[in-house]
Amino acid sequence: MFGSLGFTELILILMIVLIIFGAGKLPQLGEGLGKAIKGFKKSVHEADAIEADAQAAVQQAAAPQPVTAAPTQNAAALNQPAGATAQPAPRA
């Protein structure tokens, strides 16, 4: 963008800015421009962090989940038909 601008053109632009804003306003103008650039960089960084978090969440959701075993019950109770109650084993 600035590759085609020479030294003379930059001096001319600086002179026009000095005429329009005056020498007293240039520090305020520079400060405002600096704060704007800093805020832009901060928002870009935050957007990248949010995007990385979202990608990590998608990858975690897409990963296969390990199968956890249910708490084991008495083997006799598992073999009973639905609605039947398990009877205690006889004591010897």
pLDDT by position in tens, the chain (length 92):
556 888 899 899 889 988 988 888 888 888 999 999 999 999 998 988 888 888 888 888 776 666 665 555 555 555 556 555 556 666 66
Give phi and psi for 35, each to the nearest 5. -65, -35
Are the C-beta atoms of 8 and 15 separated by less than 8 Å? no
Per DSSP, 5 falls in state: -
C-alpha–C-alpha distance, residues 15 and 33, integer Å: 18
pLDDT of residue 14: 87
DSSP state of 43: H
Tokens of residue 47, six digits: 């957007």
- What's the rounded Cα separation, in Å, for the pair 50 and 48? 5
DSSP 1: -
- With a threshold of 0.85, does the pTM exceed it? no
